[in-house]
Chains A and B, each alone.
Chain A
């Protein structure tokens, strides 16, 4: 309820702020007056208010800065555009779509201009957005008469509907060829074939762009199908491709953006035609460039990771953009917090716990040491020393700087609590993102760090005690914004920990251990890690055998200019990009066909926790695309942007490789659950490693148990 009221107040602020901002004011009263002024002509007042609401809504949906929306920056420009357009041509209900378009265009233009003016020249953008957007729409209206004197929606629909399909296809093909100034169907067909071979996503986007742009132009009164139109329409195609998959990560949101970009390109095309055609100059690619710059500038100011996601350096194709973005997400998720102790501890109170982890302090965990029966003490329960947790080291859960240390609070005898200094002795640690980790109830005199010390994850902070609101020795951990304890706890997760599940240690990732679970940090093994760090420049020779064919190839360990590490096959140039971290090995990206040694490596060992405990089990999720080849991959590429959650799932474990004596050899196995795509269906993948020499063997096994591929290390 309080949230709804706050939201309503935000909306009101943003609306009134738009009005008052015209005269550089933030006063809501002023805004009311100005709004009333616009409503002296109800139609234009509605146009103005409607534009504000559409613009703010669009800005909100596109993920722009909330504070900017609330301050009315987008609404201001949109208001002026709406009022201006209403002034130039009195609005009716039918002009609502055009006004909405104007509002959305204003949002994008405003953000783009702001990025340039404020970021580079340190100038306020004022109402330049209004100027540009109105100019664009006004000029465009001269060649797209539907913009200024809009017919009814029915007329628009009829205009689009009467557009015969063969005409549309012809227009599309001609537009494709028009980039090369070849405005005929044959060239268009060749271009289409080339485009489909290059990238299915680009091909689909080209169709989306053309249809949206052309339909918009048709509904706005331009005549489709003539040569002049083709030379204009290619702009829609290029705008859609560039903003749908090349400079953004392909997804549903980016496809919608592509459609919007095509429409904006159409508006710009209309405006440019008015200026240039009197001189006989075609618009060239000005609409496409303007639309692309506009959107890229505009999208830059949004938080990273929000769809549609901008790509800084475009990869070889939109498909690669998608794959790389998925792997970037994986890489970002690899870091995180670790458990703040050594060995296996039990969660005695979880988040939203029954005792003290409630309401504002609900995101917190209590840990203690228990024996097999879950008992927390051995011997006399009235002595602190009977509790095994007492005196055990407490370590830093993440890298950071010590913000606050409080020591000197005495331990309570078991069963008693200190309600005054309820956090007892604690350490507060500031992480790089400004949040603070709090470890409380420590033993007096045991805290080894002081404020200002830099700590790494796992560094000793102090010892578990029984100070503060603690009836028996335990560690309390939570994450909060402020350095002083008592503030609201933030939700958090541990990157990786091991839970014993019926005697089998299982890796759990990016979640919190639940009450009653016994969790331990997976202790890294430097020797296992060495298996996944081939010296850059080294060559690993393999003899591979797959469905009757045999061949030799070398895998070379290389690093590219960005510092990304990868293995490259000398036989077919396939590449496996990986991330070398202290406690886990991750394959971030694979460029390889499904029946190759690098694919087998990826399938078996896409994620390997670098621990020495061979009993560990874990689950992996692999991207779908590498499992497919040829035409199936091409077909799936078209729908992959819309199914970001489609993954191949595998259960993974270590195994002792038969026939290889010595602990330096270890095997990693992935058993695919569900039905992974591709034929024949894969059942499992295995890889054998040597601690110093790295990959020794890799094999793929189908669902029936037949070996599809085996690769063995030579030399």
Chain B
């Protein structure tokens, strides 16, 4: 025994029993080796958990910037008049939006609430794309005054828009959302005006006939997590043909074309056997599909419309990790191993869509066994991973759920457990808290308890 220095106690690793199948290739028969994710952007995972608690969202500003710049570089040399608008619904944390705005991204909002968020961040009205099926009359008036680009979703909205623009004194340039058949499934037809049935043409003619609006742009958001880049090519061609038809009728050229988002990220869908990164088209594939028809149509960049893109997931998903601690290790009745971790579908809504990649954060044995990973909620639907190969883990060990940047920090549920804190590691490598962990005060703050019910807890009869 050394004097003065306590030897570090080795972690107990319980023995595993693994059944071998004979006759087939035994996927349990080999050890697999995974490099543990010990640090994120140079900051040790253990230090982050110790300082900010668990579970914890960690966003990497460097990764975010790199990805955004990569997207700009994929499109810029193909079609210089490309502008990226950050899709707020993907992640509307002010820190994330601000990082992207600093890099030149506009704001794409789909509700009056998001519009207000963008304005509070200082985004000027004329750099906001206002989409969505539920815009109030007041928010449309505000948008008209601010000079935002509104993409109308339906005829009733057009009616509200006309009234909102009436007080401006000049014609308000607006866009319409168009849905069309791009050869993919599912083909969304609930948003915007349908192209093939002639509804979009009718909307355009209605706008031309109005005294207060002028049609300046077309918007088409094909879907989400689209794996076929050529769908964008088909959609762009259809929209450009439509624009040519409109120009022949009204004499107005197209000022902007918004091809929405929907680019896939590295996550693996539940139904997919192959991992996501093997399947998804690259940003360059999407860029080529969208810009080639545009370049063919517009030889001179002068008359070419601005190309807007509202990518969200493809930019932010891979830039965030969710650190979660193991609470318990169980064995189910079938003999399968299960882990209970402190972040479930309350924090990780995208667990409903993806088989998230889980990474270990420290060295372990190389023998993996099939494990189910459950969240902390007392609900049977709370499953992080149904089945994943993990080594035996003990309570207190940290798992990293990868590629969680999109939708989780906007769609998380306040249910049973407090929502986790969010930390962003700056470009310089310094972790900064950008959202505090939820507390009881922040949860129940909006509640108003009627006077007659106060103190009910103290006077339980019986």
Residues of A near any B CB (own CB < 8 A): 341-345, 369, 371-372, 378, 385, 388-389, 391-393, 456, 458-460, 520-521, 523-524, 526, 529, 582, 661-663
Contact = CB atoms under 8 A, between A and B. Distances in A.
B76 A393 contact: no
A663 B126 contact: yes
B295 interface: yes
Contact of A523 (B74, B284, B301, B303): B301
Interface in B63-77: 69-70, 73-74, 76-77
B301 A458 contact: yes
A393 B301 contact: no
Contact of A456 (B78, B288, B296, B300): B300
A392 B299 contact: no
A624 to B, nearest CB: 34
B301 A371 contact: no
A523 B73 CA distance: 16
Nearest to A455: B299
A663 B147 contact: yes
B69 A456 contact: no
A388 B147 contact: no
Contacts of B124: 663
Contacts of A459: 299-300
Question: How would you classify the secondary structure of chain B's contact residues: helix, strand, loop or mixed?
Answer: loop
Interface string B56-99: 00000000000001100110111111000000000000000000
Given A345-B77, A371-B73, A460-B295, 16 more contacts: A341-B77, A342-B301, A372-B69, A388-B74, A388-B284, A389-B77, A392-B77, A392-B78, A393-B78, A456-B299, A460-B296, A520-B80, A523-B80, A524-B301, A661-B147, A663-B124
Nearest to A378: B70
Chain B contact-residue range equals 20 to 34
Contacts of B78: 342-343, 392-393
Contacts of A385: 282, 284
B302 interface: yes
Question: How would you classify the secondary structure of chain A's contact residues: helix, strand, loop or mixed?
Answer: loop
Nearest to A394: B77
A523 B305 CA distance: 12
Contacts of A661: 147
A343 B80 contact: yes
Contacts, number: 64
6 contacts: A369-B73, A388-B73, A458-B300, A523-B301, A661-B147, A662-B147
Nearest to A391: B288
Interface in B275-323: 282, 284, 288, 295-296, 299-303
Contact of A371 (B69, B288, B295): B69
Contacts of B80: 342-343, 520-521, 523
Nearest to B72: A343
A662 B126 contact: yes
A524 B301 CA distance: 7
Given A342-B76, A345-B77, A371-B73, A526 B299 contact: no
A461 to B, nearest CB: 11
B126 A393 contact: no
Interface string B136-150: 000000000001000
B302 A344 contact: no
Nearest to B306: A612
A459 B127 CA distance: 29
Nearest to A372: B69
Nearest to A520: B80
Contacts of B282: 385
The 9 closest A-B pairs by CB, nearest first: A343-B77, A343-B76, A663-B126, A392-B77, A523-B80, A342-B80, A459-B299, A662-B147, A342-B77
A702 to B, nearest CB: 32
Contacts of B295: 393, 460
Interface in B24-42: none
A371 B70 CA distance: 8
A393 B299 contact: no
A401 to B, nearest CB: 15
Nearest to A341: B77
Given A342-B80, A393-B78, A662-B126, A526 B303 contact: yes
Contacts of B127: 663
A523 B300 contact: no
Contacts of B284: 385, 388, 391
Nearest to B147: A662
A345 to B, nearest CB: 7
Interface string B169-199: 0000000000000000000000000000000
A393 B79 CA distance: 9
Nearest to B83: A612
A173 B74 CA distance: 76
B77 A524 contact: no
A393 B77 contact: yes
Interface centre among A342, A388, A456, A523 (most CB of B within 10 A): A342
Contacts of B77: 341-345, 369, 388-389, 392-393
B302 to A, nearest CB: 5
A372 to B, nearest CB: 7
A341 B77 CA distance: 7
Contacts of A341: 77
A651 B284 CA distance: 38
Interface centre among B73, B126, B284, B296 (most CB of A within 10 A): B73
A372 B427 CA distance: 14
